[in-house]
């Protein structure tokens, strides 16, 4: 199954991209890096520039039909940039409309807030997003990983890089049971 990883051109927390990417690869699925611009994205280790990664496809040219699931890595700047791009927000929303699983870590739920897909859903995130999630109709909890199967798709969320092992285990298990496998 092909898994979309959606990130902004810069600001992605590198470990929140690379560890989930590796987890997807280890399951035999195929990760694909999407961004709002072509070329390469600039990842960060907190506030310091880290590595760059090649973009496989621009989000405006991608279709939810080509992917079985979506992963949204965090980093403060990454989701803040994504939520201002209408194509990125529409792409995220389309996974919920299609009933496909979505995984988001750390600050990534900001993009979910903008996509207006959190009403009635229980999720976790970096603690500073708590009020934004509640204002968007979501129920915020402080847990390493939260799996919410409210509605036709499943949302898997996690708080921070320290939770990556649990996050990867949870989302790969959910993705393995995704419809159309």
Q: Which are the catalytic amino acids?
A: 107
Q: d(Cα 90, Cα 75) in Å, to the nearest integer?
A: 20
Which is nearest to 56 in space by CA: 67, 46, 47? 67
- Report d(CA 156, CA 145) in Å as an integer: 7
Are 36 and 85 within 8 A, CB to CB? Answer: yes
The Cα 53–Cα 128 span in angstroms is: 28
């Amino acid at each position: 199954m092909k898994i979309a990883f959606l990130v902004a051109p810069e600001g992605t927390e590198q470990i929140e991209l690379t560890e989930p990417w590796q987890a997807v690869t280890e399951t035999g699925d195929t990760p694909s890096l999407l961004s709002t611009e072509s070329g390469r994205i600039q990842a960060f280790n907190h506030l310091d520039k880290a590595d760059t990664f090649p973009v496989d496809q621009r989000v405006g040219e991608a279709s939810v039909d080509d992917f079985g699931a979506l992963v949204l890595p965090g980093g403060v700047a990454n989701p803040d940039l994504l939520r201002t791009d209408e194509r990125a927000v529409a792409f995220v929303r389309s996974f919920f409309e299609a009933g496909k699983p979505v995984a988001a870590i750390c600050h990534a739920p900001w993009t979910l807030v903008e996509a207006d897909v959190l009403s009635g859903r229980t999720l976790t995130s970096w603690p500073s997003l708590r009020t934004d999630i509640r204002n968007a109709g979501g129920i915020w909890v402080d847990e390493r990983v939260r799996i919410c199967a409210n509605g036709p798709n499943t949302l898997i969320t996690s708080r921070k890089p320290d939770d990556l092992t649990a996050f990867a285990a949870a989302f790969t298990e959910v993705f393995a049971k995704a419809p159309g496998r």
